[in-house]
Amino acid sequence: MRVFDFATHGSYWVALLPEVILSLAAMVILMRDAFVRTGTASGGDGGDGRMSVDSLVTLYSIAGALIASLWLSDASGPPDAMIALDGFRVAADVILLGGGLLVVSLSRDYLSREGLRSPEFHALTLMALVGMMVLVAARDLILLFVGLELMSISVYVLTGFVRNNPRSSEASLKYFIVGAFASAFVVYGIALLYGATGTTRLATAAEMIAAGPAAGGGLLLVAGIGLFLIGFAFKIAAVPFHMWAPDAYEGAPTPVTSLMATGVKAAAFIALLRVLTVDLGGAADVWRSAVWWLAILTMIVPNLVALAQEDVKRMLAYSSVAHAGYLLVGVVAASELGRSASLFYLAAYTVVTAGSFAIVFHVAGKGDRNQRVQDYRGLGWRRPLLGAALFIFLLSLAGFPPTAGFVGKLYLLRAAVDAGETALAVTLVLTSLIAYYYYLRVVWKMYFEAAPEDARTPAPAKPGFNLVIGTCVALILLAGLFPGRIIDRARNALADPQPGNVAARISNPPAP
């Protein structure tokens, strides 16, 4: 086992090796764009050759970062370190980097079709991934905020990436304003948590909280946790802090929407899961009731609103908000089972959402013109493979067996029941039943309604696109049919106590 004492700067560089790899790749892409002029004139996509190189550099760097993360899986460090070296971080990195691989692999056709600049897109995507990974690895509130902002700023720019599209610019502006507002809550919450505990190190703060109300700061602690929770509720689009999500998802380029719905949501949720259930586990009485209500509202409201949506991207946006509610059930459970269930569900959700949005932008065509539910009429017969893949993705989102979505919901349901949260369990089941309508409505259009004579038939998908979609389908079905090994890996990832639940170790010290 590799042990890091963080006594030198070199230890930090090695502990952040995945992030370093991605950052260097982003710099290489930008330097190449600045000094190697090939392809079309400025403002174009740079030509297929340029796009191929950018895509390959991005894909190889993400693969390298994934290998580096797995290499760090047996590393450990001091409990009060700024950077986590544990199974939780490795599991989070696998989810984020896997989602990044899917988004980048599926975005090439979109960039070529829309004539968008490839270097900036890939560099910003890599920097967003760096921010996500720093966010989930942070064991210090200041570092956590740095990761949050790096991720957010990169995605703000990506949202408005189609500069000649007013919807994209509008979505970027709305996302920026709401994101800045949320960041202010997070900063103020961090300041109050520092005032309550006298430290920004999460492990030390956990010790202070476990020592009692007096050491934990009392009212300052409650206010700090409340503001911190509000800020992250904006980031994960929990009701009633979700109103930005449908507009941002609808107006952003579809690959960016996929990145927001998978990577951004996963990173913010994993950070919230660790901070609340591990580091602030000793203050569960403060945040549990608030998160309980967030979970209830986030499961009910978006599922009802999604019933009336005619735009598929907007429908999937409200679906994404509803899935945040399902994930919050694991936070309320605040147990090892709840955390592992949330990680499993996040992994399944990342794969199925990336695949779903890829099919959406392929069907929509140039300019994302065909993204209404009516545009899917007869798709299952006009493009059988594409329709079959979307059918499986929608079944997984709805929670039908034998898909990974069904296993994930079942796992979350068990965590809620074991924690005595019967109301959450019942709400999860009932809202999943409501969601069947708007998911199966798309399926009905694909297979049971004929397309009009003047309907545009989507172009045949390229082999690379089909390969990635097929991989997503296989992963969803394999995880649904044989979930045992993945669930065991999720449990093992959370069994490592470093930096771990310091509050629990103080409250329940080992026997002498």
If one counts every other C-beta atom within 10 angstroms of the C-beta of residue 60, the result is 12
Delimit the domains of the chain by residue range: 2-498
- Measure the CA dihedral 477/483/487/489, to 10°: -80
pLDDT in tens, the chain (512 residues): 677 777 777 888 888 999 999 999 999 999 988 887 655 433 444 444 455 788 899 999 999 999 999 998 888 878 778 888 888 889 899 999 999 999 998 888 888 877 777 888 999 999 999 999 999 999 999 999 999 999 999 999 999 888 888 888 888 998 999 999 899 999 999 999 998 888 888 888 888 887 765 444 578 888 999 999 999 999 998 988 888 888 888 888 888 988 998 889 999 999 998 898 888 888 888 899 999 999 999 999 999 999 998 888 889 999 999 999 999 999 998 888 888 888 899 999 999 998 998 898 888 777 667 778 888 888 888 888 989 999 999 999 999 988 999 999 999 999 999 999 999 999 999 999 999 999 999 999 999 988 887 777 777 878 888 888 999 999 999 998 888 877 777 777 666 544 444 334 333 433 43
Work out the burial of residue 388: count CB atoms within 10 Å of its CB; fewer than 13 is exposed, 13-18 middle, 19 or more buried: middle
- Which three-class secondary structure state does DSSP give residue 465? helix
If one counts every other C-beta atom within 10 angstroms of the C-beta of residue 16, the result is 18
Measured between alpha carbons, how far is 349 from 442 in angstroms, rounded to an integer? 19
Measured between alpha carbons, how far is 56 from 53 in angstroms, rounded to an integer? 5
pLDDT recorded at residue 167:
85
Whether 55 contacts 122, CB under 8 Å: yes
pLDDT recorded at residue 69:
92
| Continuous segment of H or E residues that includes residue 99 | helix 87-114
- Which three-class secondary structure state does DSSP give residue 370? coil
State how far the alpha carbon of 135 is from the alpha carbons of 19, 144, 384, 461, 494, in Å: 11, 5, 40, 35, 17
Amino acid at 257: T
List, in sequence order, every residue forming a beta bridge with 158; answer none if it has no partner: none
Q: What is the pTM of this model?
A: 0.89
Name, in order, each residue with C-beta under 8 angstroms of 485's C-beta and a sequence gap of 6 or more.
none
DSSP tag of 78: -
Give the residue carrying structure tokens 């696998």: 94
- Which three-class secondary structure state does DSSP give residue 2? strand
DSSP tag of 72: G
Question: What is the DSSP code string of 223-263?
Answer: HHHHHHHHHHHHHTT-TTS-THHHHHHHHS-HHHHHHIIII
- Which three-class secondary structure state does DSSP give residue 405? helix
63: tokens are 């693969």
State how far the alpha carbon of 165 is from the alpha carbons of 168, 173, 337, 368, in Å: 5, 13, 45, 11
What are the φ and ψ backbone dihedral angles of 75, each rounded to 5 degrees? -90, 155
pLDDT recorded at residue 5:
72
Exposure string of 479-489, with b = 16+ CB inside 10 Å and e = fewer, is: bbeebeebbeb
Of 389, 494, 368, 495, whose CA–CA distance to 442 is shortest?
Answer: 389
| Half-sphere exposure in the Cβ direction for 339 (13 Å, CA) | 28
Measured between alpha carbons, how far is 2 from 21 in angstroms, rounded to an integer? 20
Measured between alpha carbons, how far is 118 from 127 in angstroms, rounded to an integer? 14
**Signed CA dihedral, 177, 93, 117, 464: sign only:** negative
